[in-house]
Homo-oligomer: A and B are copies of this chain.
Amino acid sequence: MAGGHKETPGGEREGSPRVSSVSHLTLNRLSFYLRCLRSLQSEEVQRISSKELANRYHLSASQIRKDLAQFGEFGIRGVGYDVAQLIEHLSDLLGLERLHRMIIVGMGNLGSALACYFGFNSGAFRVVAGVDRDPAKVGASLCGFTIGHTDDLAKEVRRSRAEIGILCVPAEAAQSTYDELVAAGIRGVLNFSPIRLRPVENVAHKDVDLRIHLEELAFFLKEPLPAD
């Protein structure tokens, strides 16, 4: 087996040989903390302790501290954390201080939806291009860009200066499209197709398998309802 990267088959696998090894669990929590802090800021809260943050959002205080301490001393002992400052630090840490341009490959149901999805077009993220194989779709405009043809993928990536590719093509096309994206110089890929990609060095990579989430739910629905 090649380099020892940890994998969670079918669910989230996370790419790139990591130099600074932060677990994706920690990263996800940091993202979540950031969201909480923004909410607090809008409520004009200026300082917060790990304990209160934990109470408000059902988190663990010691875990908040551990997570943050990994990256420096952001808090003030005896006081807590400065909300604005911590937002600043976390945004910086997560790479959210600049805009990330994204291209969607495969403008089917899911691709089209994501192109206009608020979560993909707010804050540090923006969908700036999209391509599809189907000539009938090419040329259509939606949510701020005009759909190009998948044959021009590399050109579209360069033109739009996208650094993240959102892969929404069917399973059969996923690996080849991924390789094209990488060849075009993409730096990160969010893969919605239900297959495992052969990942490339130095390209960040995240699988999101929507079906698998349903199957997880199904497992719990199978269990007999405890009639209490």
Interface residues of A (CB under 8 A from B): 1-5, 7-11, 13-20, 22, 24-25, 27-29, 31-33, 35, 57-59, 93-96, 100, 102, 109-110, 112-114, 116-120, 124-125, 163-164, 170, 187-190, 194, 196, 202, 204, 206, 208, 210-226, 228
Contact = CB atoms under 8 A, between A and B. Distances in A.
B214 A190 contact: yes
B57 A28 contact: no
B218 A202 contact: no
State the oligomeric state as a number of copies.
2
A11 B212 CA distance: 15
Nearest to A16: B220
B15 A28 contact: no
B204 A11 contact: no
Contacts of A124: 215, 218
A92 to B, nearest CB: 8
23 contacts: A2-B31, A3-B29, A3-B59, A8-B25, A8-B28, A10-B35, A11-B29, A11-B226, A15-B223, A15-B226, A16-B220, A24-B216, A27-B219, A58-B196, A93-B222, A94-B215, A110-B117, A120-B211, A120-B214, A124-B215, A164-B214, A188-B221, A202-B226
A4 B57 CA distance: 11
Given A3-B29, A9-B29, A9-B32, A217 B194 contact: no
Nearest to A211: B119
Contacts of A117: 109-110, 210
Contact of A8 (B29, B93, B95): B29
Nearest to A63: B3
A37 to B, nearest CB: 12
A170 B118 CA distance: 10
Contact of A94 (B5, B9, B218): B218
B120 A196 contact: no
A211 B28 CA distance: 10
